[in-house]
């Protein structure tokens, strides 16, 4: 398929599958266990319908927003995805440049194949750093300080991974990092190597490195080592939302880790409203998981999200067409979202309301008035 013939985000996945080694494609594409949540992350969007308002002047549409005080061109940002050089030789460099060109935020993974310093060297841009808390807290403190020094503006703390989820494709493939690559942020700390095992190499690595004792007190600890705002990534319930606010989180990312951790958790779009209501507007709530269309972005904002993050569309487009692919994904989502706003009668993000969508739980609205 010629790149210029690509007309939507989903089409990049098939191209990535053709191009990538099976072990790499499977690592990016798969979810945990039965992959029910993986499918549901997408399917749930299709059960949310629009209530468009007509005859609104939509000759100019403003997509801009601010996230933690930073002005961005649209409420569509890049989620952290690990080991991007497996997808394309330029890896995180290409993604950083594409995000910067689109005027949006990139989140760099702890397990990136490029370091915080290398990504910062690609040029200006607003970047967040995703953090896994390791057993060795000195390494964590060092890493956070390096991210801060490199100009990263926030920490996205992943809280749903005390242990790696069971990703059966990785077990079958004996997943490991290709020999020419290294987890750059940990290079020189004897933590950068993922070894071949008779299981998923990543699962073994995580078991050895990640601190399973991580708890709410550690958010307080993190605040003692950095002044950067902390986004808590991986919240799915009202209860944890309230605790996150008490703990001083600057924001929440409703995430099920791309359906790669606990299977049979709800789709993030289904968990979103519970979290938004519990947050009571005190801190912004973001969403990742399953965003493939501009209509999905609109639905998330209508249900109270302040913005969304995209993960797999970035690695698949990166694999297919490098930086140009990632740029095109961001542009397509932007264009589709703008179109959805126009056809729904919204000129700005503020005008997107809960009344613009109807979910399964609202169905009585459809009852005809006889």
Q: Which residues are known catalytic residues?
A: 257
Q: Pick from 96, 9, 103: which is nearest to 64 by CA?
A: 103
Q: Is 244 annotated as a binding residue?
A: no
Q: Is there a binding annotation on residue 356?
A: no
**Does 81 show up as a binding residue in the annotation?**
yes
Pairwise CA distance, residues 296 & 357, whole Å: 11
Was 130 annotated as part of a binding site? Answer: yes
Residue 197 marked as a ligand binder: no
The response to whether 312 counts as a known ligand-binding position is yes
Distance CA 1, CA 300 (A): 31
Annotate 150-207 with DSSP letters as a single string: TT--EEEEE-S-SS----HHHHHHT----TT---GGGTTTT-------SS-HHHHHHH
Instruction: Judge whether 289 is annotated as a binding position.
Output: yes
Tell me the three-class secondary structure of 205-246, residue by residue: HHHHHECCCCCCHHHHHHHHHCCCCEEEEEECCHHHHHHHHH
The whole-angstrom separation of Cα 101 and Cα 124 is 10
Cα dist. 249→37, 39, 90, 254 in Å?
26, 30, 33, 13
Residue 255 marked as a ligand binder: yes
Q: Is 109 annotated as a binding residue?
A: yes
Is 132 within any annotated ligand binding site?
yes
27 known member of a binding site: yes
25 annotated as a binding-site residue = no
Residue 101 assigned as binding residue:
no
The closest of 280, 346, 272 to 303, measured between CA atoms, is 272
CA distances in angstroms from 274 to 238, 248, 300, listed in the order given? 6, 19, 13
How close are the terminal C-alpha atoms of the chain, in Å? 52
Q: Is 82 annotated as a binding residue?
A: yes
Q: Which residues contact 255 (CB under 8 A, 6 or more apart)?
A: 79, 160, 233, 234, 235, 236, 268, 287, 288, 289, 309
Q: Does the annotation list 80 as a binding residue?
A: yes
Pull the structure tokens for residue 369. Answer: 């008035």
To the question of whether residue 167 is assigned a binding role by annotation, the answer is: yes
Sequence ranges of the binding site for FMN: 80-82, 109, 130, 158, 233, 255, 288-292, 311-312
Known binding residues: 27, 80-82, 109, 130, 132, 158, 167, 233, 255, 257, 260, 288-292, 311-312
Q: Which residues are annotated as a binding site for glyoxylate?
A: 27, 132, 167, 257, 260
């Amino acid at each position: 398929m010629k790149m210029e013939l690509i007309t939507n985000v989903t089409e990049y996945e098939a191209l990535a599958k053709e191009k990538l080694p099976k072990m790499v494609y499977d690592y990016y594409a798969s979810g945990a266990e039965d992959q029910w949540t993986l499918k549901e992350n997408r399917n749930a969007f299709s059960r949310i319908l629009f209530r468009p308002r007509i005859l609104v002047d939509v000759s100019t549409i403003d997509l801009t927003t601010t996230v933690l005080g930073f002005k961005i061109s649209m409420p569509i940002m890049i989620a952290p995805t690990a080991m991007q050089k497996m997808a394309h030789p330029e890896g995180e460099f290409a993604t950083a440049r594409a995000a910067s060109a689109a005027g949006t935020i990139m989140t760099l993974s702890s397990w990136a194949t490029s370091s915080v310093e290398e990504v910062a060297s690609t040029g200006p841009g607003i970047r967040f750093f995703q953090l896994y808390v390791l057993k060795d807290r000195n390494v964590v403190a060092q890493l956070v300080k390096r991210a801060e020094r490199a100009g990263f503006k926030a920490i996205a703390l992943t809280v749903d991974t005390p242990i790696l989820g069971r990703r059966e494709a990785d077990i079958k493939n004996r997943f490991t990092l290709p020999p020419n690559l290294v987890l750059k942020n940990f290079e020189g700390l004897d933590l950068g190597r993922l070894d071949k095992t008779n299981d998923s190499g990543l699962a073994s690595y995580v078991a050895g490195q990640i601190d399973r004792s991580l708890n709410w007190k550690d958010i307080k600890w993190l605040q003692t080592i950095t002044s950067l705002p902390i986004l808590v990534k991986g919240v799915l319930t009202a209860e944890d939302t309230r605790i996150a606010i008490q703990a001083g989180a600057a924001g929440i990312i409703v995430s099920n880790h791309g359906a790669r951790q606990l299977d049979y958790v709800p789709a993030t779009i289904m968990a979103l409203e519970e979290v938004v209501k519990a947050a009571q507007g005190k801190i912004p709530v973001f969403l990742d998981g399953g965003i493939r269309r501009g209509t999905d972005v609109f639905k998330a904002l209508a249900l109270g999200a302040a913005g969304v993050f995209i993960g797999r569309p970035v690695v698949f487009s990166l694999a297919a067409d490098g930086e140009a692919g990632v740029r095109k994904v961001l542009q397509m989502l932007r264009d589709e979202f703008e179109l959805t706003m126009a056809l729904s009668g919204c000129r700005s993000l503020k005008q997107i309301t809960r009344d613009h969508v109807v979910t399964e739980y609202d169905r009585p609205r459809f009852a005809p008035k006889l």
